[in-house]
Amino acid sequence: MRIAAWLATRTEPAWLVGGALRDGLLGRQIGDIDLLVAGEAVALARQMARDLGGSVGVLDDQAGVARVVLGDQTIDLAALQAATLEDDLRARDFTINALAAPATVATLRALAAGDTAALRAVVLDPTGGLADLDARRLRMTSAAALRDDPVRLLRAARLAVAIDGMIDPATVAAARAVAPLLDTTAPERWLAELYAMLAARNGTRAMRLLDDLGALTVLVPPLAPCRGLVQGRLHYWDVFEHTLEVIDAVDHVVDLLAAGLDAPAAPAAPDAAGHVAHPTALELGGQNAALLARLRAPFLAGQTRQTMLKVAALFHDVGKPLTRGVRANGDIMFLGHAEAGVPLTQPVLARWRMGRQARRFVEAVVACHMRPGQIAGPQGLTDRAARHFFRDAGDAGIDVAVFSLGDHFAVYGPRPLTPFWLGHRAAVAELIRRAYVEPERVIPPRLIDGNDLIARYHIPHGPAIGRILGLVETAHLNGDIQTRAEAFALVERALHEEAE
C-alpha cells in the first residue's frame, strides 16, 4: 500500500491498467503493476524511486515508459498517449487491455484483497472488455490496431492463454491477413513475446494459437515442411504436432521431478501386453533437487533453462523432412535428422537476434537430443559413450538429457509407453548421476594443453595446436590413452606422420 499512499500525495491522475487489473478482475493473484499517468511518467517514476527507496529504469524515453523496482515489486509507469483516457484505451490492442481503474488507495486495496466487485464498480470499460473477460474471449479493439503493429498477433496468443480463453473469429481473420507483415517488425520483439509465452504454462496451446493466426511458420519457417509429415508406427503425432507437444512435455518432466521429491517413483515394468504406464514421478540419479534448481534459475537473457528447452523444442525435429526414409519393412526413419536440423536452426536464431550463448544452447539441444536415448547398450552406459555425449553437448548436456525424456513422452501421446522408456530413463538417470557425483567420468580433465605443446615441441600458436589437442582429446575420451606420457607419445606420432 506504500504505492497507493504515495500516489495519493501526487496531483497527476493515475490509473491501474494491464495484467494486474486483468488478474484482479479474474480473482487471481496479482504480480507486477502497470500504471497509466497523465503527465511525465518518466519523471514521476524517478520521483517514486527516490521517495520510496527503489530503483528506476527508462524503458522507452520517447513514449514515456519507465520501470520502478521496490524490493520484489515492479511498477511500470506509462504516459497517456491520447488527449483523454478513453481515447487512449480505445487505441489499445485488445478489449481486455482497454480497461482502467483509478489508482486510488481504495482501488489498490481492493486489488490486494481480491475484491473483484469493488474493482468492477470503478473500472472504465469503453470497448466491452469486461464482457470479453467474463467470456474468456480475446477480441481486437479494431483491425487497424493489428495492422499498425503486427507483433500484436503474438501478444494475442499469449493473452488468450493467460485468460484461458479463445480468440474471437473476427480477430483471427484480421490477424491472418496481417501475419505476413510480421517480417516488417523488429525480430527482437518476436523473441520477447516467444520467451513470454514459453516461460508460462501451456506453451503448446500458445504455439497452436500462433499457428491458427498464421504467425508460427513466419517466425519458424523450417516448421512448415514438418506439417503433416507422418512418422513411424510408435509416433502418435506427425512431426509438426509432435514438435508442439514436446513443449508441454518439458514442463511435464519438471513436474515429475518435483513430484519425485515428495514420493519416490514406483518401479515400472511392462505388463502382459508389453505396455508401460506413464510415470507419476521421476527420480533421476538422486539429483532431483539439483536439477530443479538448475532448470528454474535465471540462465540466459533472463530466461531459465526450462524456458530455453521449450524454445529448442520448436527446432529439435526440423531436420526430419530432409532425412525421411523408408526401410524395406515399411518402417519410417529419419537418420541424422538431429544433425541436419542445426543448419536450419541457425539462421532463424540469428534472425531473431538471439544472443550467441543462447543460440549455442539451442543448437546443442537440437544436435544432441537423440543421444541420451541411444547411448545405453546391453551392458549399460559406458564411460566412452557418456564422455562423448558431454563433450558434444557441452554445458547443455544435463539439460539435453532432461529434454530427451520430454521428447520421449511426446512420441506416444495418450498411449502407454513401451519398454524402451525404461532403458531411456535409466540411461538419463545414470548420465545425470555421473555429471553430479562422478564428473571426472564424463568430463575428464585434459591430459595436456596448448602451453605443453608450445613448450615441449615449439609448435607456434595457430590451428595446428587445436588439431593436435583434438586428437588427444578424442583418444582420451575413447579410453585409448590415460596419462600425460601416453598423450605426449600420441603427439609425437602425429608430428612424425605429418613430417613424413
Domains of the chain: 1-134 (3.30.460.10), 136-219 (1.10.110.30), 227-442 (no CATH), 450-499 (no CATH)
**DSSP string of 296-348?**
HSEEETTEEHHHHHHHHHTTTTTTHHHHEEE-TTS-EEETTHHHHHHHHHHHH
CB atoms inside a 10 Å sphere around CB 185: 15
Residues 265-291 have a mean pLDDT of 89
pLDDT tens per residue, range 356-369: 999 999 999 999 99
Full-model pTM: 0.88
What pLDDT was estimated at residue 162? 95
What pLDDT was estimated at residue 467? 84
Label residues 207-225 b or e (16+ Cβ within 10 Å = b).
bbbbbbbbbbbbbbebbeb
Of all residues in the chain, the percent with pLDDT exceeding 70 is: 98
Of all residues in the chain, the percent with pLDDT exceeding 90 is: 73
In this model, does residue 69 exceed pLDDT 80? yes
What pLDDT was estimated at residue 1? 66
In this model, does residue 60 exceed pLDDT 80? yes
* Higher local confidence (pLDDT), 378 or 209: 209
Residue 431 near residue 420, CB atoms below 8 Å: no
Residues 229-237 have a mean pLDDT of 93
Residues 443-469 have a mean pLDDT of 80
Residues 440-457 have a mean pLDDT of 80
Q: Give the lowest-confidence range in 64-73, 135-144, 332-341, 463-472.
A: 463-472
Longest Cα–Cα distance in the chain: 89
pLDDT tens per residue, range 107-121: 988 998 899 999 999
What pLDDT was estimated at residue 454? 84
pLDDT tens per residue, range 22-37: 999 999 988 889 999 9
Q: Which three cell numbers stand for residue 168?
A: 474471437
What pLDDT was estimated at residue 67? 95
Residues 228-256 have a mean pLDDT of 96
Integer Cα distance of 34 and 20 in angstroms: 7
In this model, does residue 155 exceed pLDDT 80? yes
Residues 274-283 have a mean pLDDT of 92
| Residue recorded with cell 531459465 | 304
Residue 291 backbone zone (phi > 0: left; psi -120 to 50: alpha; other: beta)? alpha
